[in-house]
Amino acid sequence: MNKKIYLKVDTDITTICQVLSWFEQINSPPISNKKIWWECQTLIIEGFTNIVEHAHKNLPFETPIELEVKRLDTCIEIRIWSLGLSFNLEEKLQKISKFEENTEERGRGLKIMSELADKLRYEYMSDYRYCLFISKSY
């Protein structure tokens, strides 16, 4: 199987329902392991939310966020492109306390993603954007 979908939305957390609805397209035929599908949904929610709330927090509402999802034979790849500020993902993950030790209401998204994803990267692209890459095997 090789299926790819693409979406472009404004920097607006209320579009998360649109993002999830769009993402459902990739689950056809359904992934048999419902836990894996739930983890994929969580990964896209956390990735999108982090871009809106952190990378794009000081950018205009109209600043686009682009999403691409590929369903391959053994994994789902999620790419979320942003125009926000850079940060060192590995360094940030090392500074975040262990998930079970975090009593804050916020600040768990990256840790959740690092626990659920098989691959997680945040990379600068040649077109001056950043790409959050997430891969999850199924």
What tens digit of pLDDT does each residue of 66-113 get?
999 999 999 999 999 999 877 778 777 777 655 545 455 555 788 899
Q: Identity (one letter) of the amino acid at 20?
A: L
Number of domains making up the chain: 1
Q: Is-contact 96 110, C-beta < 8 A?
A: yes
Predicted local distance difference test score (pLDDT) of residue 52: 94
The β-bridge partners of 120 are 134
Q: Which domain holds residue 53?
A: 3-137
Of 39, 109, 45, which is closest to residue 76 (Cα–Cα)? 39
**Which SS3 state, helix, strand or coil, does residue 97 take?**
coil
Phi, psi values for residue 64, rounded to 5°: -75, 150
- In angstroms, how far apart are the furthest CA atoms of the chain? 41
What tens digit of pLDDT does each residue of 19-60 get?
999 999 999 999 999 999 999 999 999 999 999 999 999 999
Distance CA(42)–CA(114), nearest Å, equals 12
Q: What CATH number corresponds to the domain at position 11?
A: 3.30.565.10
Predicted local distance difference test score (pLDDT) of residue 75: 97
Distance CA(100)–CA(78), nearest Å, equals 26
Residue 20 is encoded by which pair of tokens?
């999830």
35: Cα within 13 Å, side-chain hemisphere: 1
pTM for the whole thing? 0.88
Residue 37 Cα to chain centre, angstroms: 14
